[in-house]
């Protein structure tokens, strides 16, 4: 029997940047726990077309901004009599909505319950909803045999996940809602095996660890960094700014080949950080950035605009901070109240959401009414920040500054430069699309899950 696992295409967003495309690890993990009697095909619609050819079962994973496209794909398969399973963060948060487009919905992480789903499918006894009592023990998951799945579809295929979960619980983030507030880790030996399996292509020494916080557990991080140091990799990941407070871990990260970190600063205003329960101290940012740069690590900063404490000065002040501290790459996004978050519930209750069209929940569109500026002013401020930061002059200046970072090397510098111009091209297109229209659906028609 054949199973087709699908990641829908991002209609617009970071994955439209060709160099940012990476393999769908969640679907690859699911394929790894599928019994051998099934033939598994993985389709990433970002790099290939869906043929809608013969298959016995379809599984689709979707984030909120991919939900509508996931539903379109599901409906098309079901019209042909094919059973469809929906999963991922959006169907997990809104299972009653998702089930109207599927034969079954997996709520939460699917790794442990997938075999039960397949057994019920084989017996023609699919239930509407599947959910485990607790998140899976990551040590029980098999190592992904990457080369047999990705088939040279990606420019940058080398991605590995070492942990799941986040203890911060920020009001705007759904990670803790989906993966839990406790960080769970995979065994180091599994990580090393998976790295070996993924080594392929022109960038075989460059890796990205897809963790939400690669240094969330300093004890585990120390063990991990020491283990990968002999591999002489160049790697990047996401981390909390608090990594800069731990000199030992920061030094080990750099020594093990850490070349770049994505860090969510979110806001320069302490009031805004407090507003969404982000446990950072804005006054420490400049020193933390310097410490990271002093270890030769490129820093990509992520900033959110639209907090209730933001006014129209926030855009220029954030750009000044980026230039002053030498932030190498930047994301500027709109505060987005994703379903399942405390922010969503507050916005919904206050009648501040302007659309429930999930296509717009991509962090580039403004989907709520800001407090101290209009929707248009917030949208225009995001455009201005991107155009300013990704001007050709700004890209060139930042590129040449990288030459002085001791751990930068030629393949990374080329990758960095191409990514900046690819990002610039995306922004020129994406930020000139029409603003969100007030196509508000009656909130009572959507069944929200706690």
Question: Domain holding 413: CATH number?
Answer: 3.80.30.20
* Kind of pairing between the strands at 184-185 and 163-164: antiparallel
pLDDT at residue 109 in the model: 92
Q: Domain range spanning residue 32? A: 2-131
Residues 7 and 66 in one domain: yes
* Helix, strand, coil content of the chain in percent (nearest 5): 45, 15, 40
Residues 254 and 394 in one domain: yes
Burial class (CB in 10 A: 0-12, 13-18, 19+), 144: buried
Domain count across the chain = 2
The Cα-based distances of 373 to 320, 376, 378 in angstroms read 20, 8, 7
Say whether pLDDT at 438 is over 80. Answer: no
Say whether pLDDT at 11 is over 90. Answer: no
Residues 381 and 249 in one domain: yes
Q: Could you tell me the pLDDT band of residue 179, with boundaries at 50, 70 and 90?
A: confident
Residues 115 and 213 in one domain: no
Residues 108 and 250 in one domain: no
Q: Which residues 6+ apart lie within 8 Å of 62 measured at CB?
A: 8, 69, 70, 86, 87, 88, 89, 90, 91
Q: Could you give the CA distance from residue 209 to residue 162 in angstroms, rounded to a whole number?
A: 7
Q: Could you tell me the pLDDT band of residue 440, with boundaries at 50, 70 and 90?
A: very low
DSSP 380-438: HHHHHHHHHHTSHHHHHHHHHHHTTSTT--HHHHHHHHHHHHHHHHHHHHHTTSPPPP-
For residue range 101-159, what is the model confidence (pLDDT) as tens digits?
999 999 999 999 999 999 999 999 999 999 988 888 899 888 987 666 666 677 666 88
Residues 166 and 36 in one domain: no
Residue 373 included in any domain: yes
Residues 202 and 72 in one domain: no
115's tokens: 């075999």
Is-contact 185 137, C-beta < 8 A?
no
Residue 424 included in any domain: yes
Q: Could you tell me the pLDDT band of residue 407, with boundaries at 50, 70 and 90?
A: very low
Q: Could you give the CA distance from residue 450 to residue 448 in angstroms, rounded to a whole number?
A: 7
Residue 297 included in any domain: yes
Q: Could you give the CA distance from residue 382 to residue 379 in angstroms, rounded to a whole number?
A: 5
Return mean pLDDT, the chain: 86
For the chain, state the CA radius of gyration. 22
Residues 30 and 70 in one domain: yes
Tokens 């948060």 sit on residue:
93
For residue range 293-324, what is the model confidence (pLDDT) as tens digits?
999 888 999 999 999 999 999 999 999 999 99
Q: Could you give the CA distance from residue 26 to residue 150 in angstroms, rounded to a whole number?
A: 13
> Comparing 145 with 26, which gets the higher pLDDT?
26
- Domain C-terminal end among 131, 147, 166: 131
pLDDT at residue 398 in the model: 81
Percent of the chain beyond pLDDT 70?
Answer: 85
Residue 448 included in any domain: no
For residue range 244-300, what is the model confidence (pLDDT) as tens digits?
999 999 999 999 999 889 999 999 999 999 988 888 899 999 999 999 999 988 899
Q: Could you tell me the pLDDT band of residue 163, with boundaries at 50, 70 and 90?
A: very high
Question: Domain holding 95: CATH number?
Answer: 3.40.50.280
Residues 177 and 267 in one domain: yes
434's tokens: 């029409």
Residue 442 included in any domain: no
Residues 296 and 189 in one domain: yes
Burial class (CB in 10 A: 0-12, 13-18, 19+), 388: middle
Residue 435 included in any domain: no
Is-contact 363 15, C-beta < 8 A?
no
For residue range 234-244, what is the model confidence (pLDDT) as tens digits?
899 999 999 99
Residues 108 and 256 in one domain: no
Say whether pLDDT at 43 is over 50. Answer: yes
> Comparing 252 with 440, which gets the higher pLDDT?
252
Q: Could you give the CA distance from residue 61 to residue 89 in angstroms, rounded to a whole number?
A: 8
Q: Could you give the CA distance from residue 180 to residue 152 in angstroms, rounded to a whole number?
A: 33
Residue 98 included in any domain: yes
pLDDT at residue 442 in the model: 41
Residue 249 included in any domain: yes
Q: Could you give the CA distance from residue 401 to residue 440 in angstroms, rounded to a whole number?
A: 46
* Kind of pairing between the strands at 83-87 and 163-164: unpaired
31's tokens: 């394929």
Q: Could you give the CA distance from residue 247 to residue 138 in angstroms, rounded to a whole number?
A: 28
Residues 395 and 345 in one domain: yes
Is-contact 162 144, C-beta < 8 A?
no
Q: Could you tell me the pLDDT band of residue 201, with boundaries at 50, 70 and 90?
A: low
């Amino acid at each position: 029997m054949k199973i087709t696992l699908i990641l829908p295409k991002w209609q617009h967003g970071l994955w439209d940047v060709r160099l940012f495309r990476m393999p769908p690890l969640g679907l690859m993990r699911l394929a790894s726990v599928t019994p051998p009697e099934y033939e598994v095909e993985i389709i990433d619609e970002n790099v290939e077309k869906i043929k809608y050819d013969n298959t016995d079962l379809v599984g689709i994973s979707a984030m909120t901004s991919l939900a509508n496209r996931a539903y379109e794909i599901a409906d098309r398969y079901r019209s042909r009599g094919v059973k469809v399973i929906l999963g991922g963060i959006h169907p997990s948060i809104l299972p009653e909505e998702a089930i109207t487009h599927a034969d079954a919905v997996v709520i939460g992480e699917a790794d442990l319950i997938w075999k039960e789903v397949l057994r019920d499918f084989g017996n023609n006894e699919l239930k509407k909803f599947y959910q485990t009592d607790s998140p899976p023990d990551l040590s029980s998951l098999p190592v992904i045999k990457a080369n047999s799945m990705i088939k040279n579809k990606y420019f940058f295929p080398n991605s590995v996940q070492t942990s799941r979960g986040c203890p911060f619980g920020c009001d705007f983030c759904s990670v803790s809602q989906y993966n839990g507030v406790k960080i769970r880790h995979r065994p180091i030996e599994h990580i090393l095996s998976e790295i070996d399996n993924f080594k392929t292509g022109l960038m075989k020494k460059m890796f990205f660890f897809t963790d939400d916080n690669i240094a969330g557990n300093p004890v585990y991080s120390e063990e991990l960094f020491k283990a990968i140091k002999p591999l002489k990799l160049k790697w990047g990941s996401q981390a909390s700014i608090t990594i800069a407070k731990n000199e030992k871990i920061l030094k080990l990260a750099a020594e093990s080949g850490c070349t770049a970190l994505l860090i969510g600063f979110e806001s320069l205003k302490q009031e805004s950080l407090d507003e969404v329960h982000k446990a950072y101290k804005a006054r420490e940012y400049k020193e933390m950035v310097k410490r990271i740069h002093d270890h030769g690590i490129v820093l990509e900063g992520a900033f959110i605009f639209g907090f209730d404490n933001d006014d129209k000065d926030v855009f220029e002040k954030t750009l000044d901070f980026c230039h002053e501290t030498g932030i190498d790459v930047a994301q500027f996004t709109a505060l987005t109240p994703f379903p399942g978050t405390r922010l969503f519930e507050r916005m919904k209750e206050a009648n501040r959401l302007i659309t429930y069209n999930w296509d717009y929940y991509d962090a580039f569109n403004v989907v709520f009414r800001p407090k101290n500026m209009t929707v248009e002013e917030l949208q225009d401020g995001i455009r201005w920040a991107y155009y300013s930061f990704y001007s050709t002059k700004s890209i060139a200046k930042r590129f040449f500054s990288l030459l002085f970072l001791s751990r930068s090397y030629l393949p990374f510098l080329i990758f960095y430069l191409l990514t900046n111009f690819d990002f610039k091209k995306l922004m020129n297109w994406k930020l000139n699309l029409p603003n969100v229209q007030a196509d508000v659906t009656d909130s009572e028609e959507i069944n929200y899950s706690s």
